[in-house]
Amino acid sequence: MSKDLNEDTLTEIMVSLANAFSDERQKSEPYKEMFKAGSTHTGLLRELENKMMMHVLDACDVYKERHGIKINKAQYYVLLALPFLAKIAERDAEKNEGMSCSVDKAYFILSEQLLALAD
C-alpha cells in the first residue's frame, strides 16, 4: 500500500530529518565542548568565537598548502564573516535570480570576491 505524498507527510518527513540531524549534532564532541564555556553569555560567545577562529585559521592553512594562496588581511576578515556573508549572498541570489541553486550561486560569488581581494 503506498502512502499519498501530501503536505502532512512532507512535514512529518522534514521534522523527522531535522530531529535526526539535531540528535546527531548534539552527540558530537564540538557540541559537548560548548557547554564547557561556562554559564554566562559572554563565556559562550568567547568559546564560539574561538572555535570559529580556529576553523578560519585551518582554512587559511588549506588555502596556502593546497592552492598556494596566502590569505591576506582583507580575505581573513571575509572568512571570519563567512556565515553572515553567505546568508546575504544567498538572499541576494534568490531575489535577483530565483531560488534555483541560490546557495551554489552565493558561494560562487563569495569565492570570486575572496579571490578578487588577493594582493
| Site of grid cell 531535522 | 18
Asked if residue 18 belongs to a domain, the reply is yes
Instruction: State the pLDDT at residue 4.
Output: 66
Task: Please check whether residues 66 and 89 belong to one and the same domain.
Answer: yes
How far apart, in whole angstroms, are the C-alpha atoms of residue 48 and residue 14? 28
Instruction: State the pLDDT at residue 35.
Output: 82
Sign of CA dihedral 22, 79, 115, 62: negative
Asked if residue 5 belongs to a domain, the reply is yes
Q: In this predicted model, what pLDDT tens digit does every residue of 24-58 receive, in sequence order?
A: 989 988 888 888 777 788 988 988 898 999 999 99
Asked if residue 44 belongs to a domain, the reply is no
Task: Please check whether residues 68 and 111 belong to one and the same domain.
Answer: yes
CA atoms within 13 A on the CB side of 54: 6
Helix 41-67 to helix 73-80 angle, to the nearest 10 degrees? 130
How far apart, in whole angstroms, are the C-alpha atoms of residue 52 and residue 4? 44
Task: Please check whether residues 67 and 27 belong to one and the same domain.
Answer: no
Asked if residue 113 belongs to a domain, the reply is yes
Q: In this predicted model, what pLDDT tens digit does every residue of 52-109 receive, in sequence order?
A: 999 999 999 999 999 999 999 999 999 999 999 999 999 999 898 888 888 999 999 9
Instruction: State the pLDDT at residue 1.
Output: 43
Q: What is residue 37's DSSP assignment?
A: G
Asked if residue 42 belongs to a domain, the reply is no
How far apart, in whole angstroms, are the C-alpha atoms of residue 17 and residue 119? 44
Tell me the residue range of the domain where 20 lies. 1-37
Instruction: State the pLDDT at residue 73.
Output: 96
How far apart, in whole angstroms, are the C-alpha atoms of residue 72 and residue 80? 12
Asked if residue 28 belongs to a domain, the reply is yes
Instruction: State the pLDDT at residue 43.
Output: 87
Task: Please check whether residues 61 and 99 belong to one and the same domain.
Answer: yes
Non-local (6+) Cβ contacts of 17 within 8 A are: none
Task: Please check whether residues 99 and 60 belong to one and the same domain.
Answer: yes
Task: Please check whether residues 33 and 56 belong to one and the same domain.
Answer: no
DSSP helix/strand/coil, 28: coil
Instruction: State the pLDDT at residue 99.
Output: 81
